[in-house]
Structure 1
Amino acid sequence: MTLAAAPDAAANRRGIQLMVCAMLVFAVQDGISKHLATHYSPVFVTMVRYWFFAVFVAAISARKAGGLRKAARTSLPMLQSFRGALLALEIVVMISGFAMIGLVQSHAIFAGYTLIVTALSGPVLGEKVGWRRWTAVCVGFLGVLIILRPGASMFDPGALVALLATAMFAGYHLATRYANRVEGGTISFFYTGVAGAVTMTLIGPFFWTPMQGWDWAWMGALCVTGMAGHYLLINALDSAEASAVQPFAYLQLVFASAIGVGVFGESMDALVVVGAALVVGAGLFTFWRERAASARPSR
């Protein structure tokens, strides 16, 4: 039994290592996005980023069995197109949040998307959510309120922008869960890139801004980190069980906050730390409860 279990343990360790690297790369990408968004429209930045991402998605899909034709064959064209467009627009909103309130507070709020997914998984996906997970959702939203500080920064446009991005990403996550149940992840991944690129190409040219000097290098770095992050993430999920690597996705909050403080001089006060700890702790608990519920034998 020990010998049989060893390869799984080794694969999970490799998957965790890849996941940690992916979160670091995505945090660096967020830092570059913040830098560019202070000089250029987030719509323009996202459009260029998606052009390269669509090429990356097409290349990955072409290498799989059945190639591009199989990846593009969907029985849910409206849903797949909607979720791809929604993610692209969410990135625009999130980058706007980076520029307005910084990486620390944006990511602290954004970590609450898992709680929205848990709260809506019952009515939207028909999943059973017990009282323990509902309690965790309430605790997590308390953490979000601590970060937002009702009566103070609750009406800060930047905080509301980050909150909107959180809700949009939760909607994308729910739509992806449903689509993957019907068609699997390969088709969903293809439409994430292609539908997002089409959406941004339709609206992005209206925000076109000539780039200056070294900013093209930063844009190139943004595209490279985007592709590298997704490559690491795909390999992490291919190498290990999702339940083993998913909790480490919260490290993006840690890495992005470090970049925000160390590079951009952002502050990290006690209330943001406490609120983020509640949000992350509640998210990890809901994930653990989902894992326990799925492992429980059905009768």
Structure 2
Amino acid sequence: MPNDSQTGPLMAPAARPPAVPPPLAAPRTERQGTAILLICGSALIFAAQDGISRYLGATYSPIFVIMLRFWFFAAFVILLCARSSGGLARAARSKRPWTQAFRGVLLVAEVVVTVEAFVRLGLINTHAIFSCYPLLISALSGPFLGEKVGWRRWAAVAVGFVGILIVLKPGSGVFSSDAILPFAGAAMFAVYGLLTRLVGRDDPAMVSFFWTGIVGAIAITLVGVWHWEPIAGRDIPWLLLLCLTAVVAHYMLIKAYELAEASTLQPFSYTQLVWVSIFGVTIFGETLAPNVAIGGLIVVGAGLFTWWRARQRERAGLN
């Protein structure tokens, strides 16, 4: 991934692809409109996947569920790369193989942690905390990539973490140690995004896509086979739906970034938080507490500000 915004700020839990083909140089207005519809549609599907993951993760080991997902994801990656220019041989050639492999393992670990957070904290609370990951990318882009982080972005990071504290209410007596799970997931996904930008300097997007899918499937299999368990007949359709919708959402995401620039589409990926809140309340009986709503809005607002500042710096040609 050339930059950290290509997958959107809330799209990690459903194991979305790490990289997409580059956008067209000068997308037309109608192409941007189609891309926005696609990104919003993929956000809806990913939110539904998170709900299915929470349901299955409460019945089966999250590692087992994620292993099956990554098997399906790896098959999708192989088919997609085989049809790309140069085929599988080109997709497998990386100038940074060890970094690419670490990215794949890191993404698997992040998904496992986040699904466990869904089970323990619910969809709404998990996403309210997880949505701080763009702020972590801003804060870590200096030491990881040598980028200059100005005081405005540092201020946005600070404001975002105030939002996290509002969500957690650490001094109220209701703070749970489980809350570290979505934050750990956000931190891992932030590092994953930064490493994706790093390898993007040498490897094409399809190479990163291939390595993430294949290495991720291998890594989770080494652990997941020990968590194998029989699947109840009533849950098989849900598991198939989880895998099939992943392919649809991945394809929609790829097509969206073929039609428009990532910086144009990033704000619309926040619609996933809206859908997650709706599903959490209506299907799982979760409560959207006032502190979670307020804190979540602050975090999202800080994330949008960092996006806006990045666009301003791009236009001005600053570092």
Answer yes or no: same fold by TM over 0.5: yes
Distance 1:155 1:175 in 2: 32
Q: 2:133 aligns with which of 92, 109, 113?
A: 113
1:43 matched to which residue of 2? 63
Alpha-carbon distance in 2 for matches of 1:153, 1:77: 46
> Does 2:234 correspond to 1:214?
yes
Residue of structure 2 in register with 1:236 after alignment: 256
Q: Which residue of 2 aligns with 1:94?
A: 114
- Runs (4 or more) in structure 1 with deviation over 2 Å come to 151-155
Gaps of 5+ in 1: none
Query: Is residue 154–residue 160 contact of structure 1 (8 Å, CA) maintained in 2?
Result: no
Whether the 8 Å CA contact 2:44–2:272 is kept in 1: the answer is yes
In the alignment, which of 68, 71, 77 is matched to residue 97 of structure 2? 77
User: C-alpha separation between the residues in 2 aligned to 1:263 and 1:158?
Assistant: 22
Distance in 2 (alpha carbons) for counterparts of 1:292 and 1:129: 13
Quote the Cα distance in structure 2 between the aligned partners of 1:179 and 1:221. Answer: 32
Partner of 2:44: 24
User: Counterpart of 2:8?
Assistant: none
- Structure 1 residues 145-193: Cα deviation after superposition (integer angstroms, max 9, x where no partner): 1111113467513211111111111111111111112212111111111
Q: Deviations over 1:89-127 (max 9, x none)?
A: 111110000000100000000100000000000111111
- Per the alignment, in what secondary structure is the counterpart of residue 127 of structure 1? coil
Counterpart of 1:62, as a letter, is A
Q: What is the CA distance between 1:297 and its match in structure 2?
A: 3.2
Distance 1:205 1:151 in 2: 41
Q: How does 1:1-299 map to 2 (within 5 A)?
A: 8-152=28-172, 155-297=175-317
Distance, in Å, in 2 between the alignment partners of 1:7 and 1:283 is 25
Q: 1:7 to 1:241 in 2, by over 3 A?
A: closer
- The CA distance in 1 between the partners of 2:27 and 2:164, in whole Å, is 40
Higher helix share: 1
Partner-residue secondary structure (3-state), 1:182:
coil
Q: Percent same amino acid at aligned positions?
A: 49
**Would you say how many aligned residue pairs link Structure 1 and Structure 2?**
295
Change (3 A) 1:298 1:155: closer
Question: Closer, same or farther in 2 for the Cα pair 1:8/1:207, shift >3 Å?
Answer: same
Q: 2:265 is matched by which residue type in structure 1?
A: V
1:214 counterpart SS class? helix
The 8 Å contact of residues 169 and 175 in structure 2, kept in 1 or not, is answered as no
Q: For 1:119 and 1:45, how far apart are their aligned partners in 2?
A: 32
Gaps of 5+ in 2: 1-24
Decide whether aligned partners of structure 1 residues 70 and 12 sit closer, same or farther in structure 2, where only a CA change above 3 A counts.
Answer: same
Aligned residues: CA RMSD? 1.6
1:249 CA displacement: 1.2
Q: TM-score, normalised by structure 1?
A: 0.95
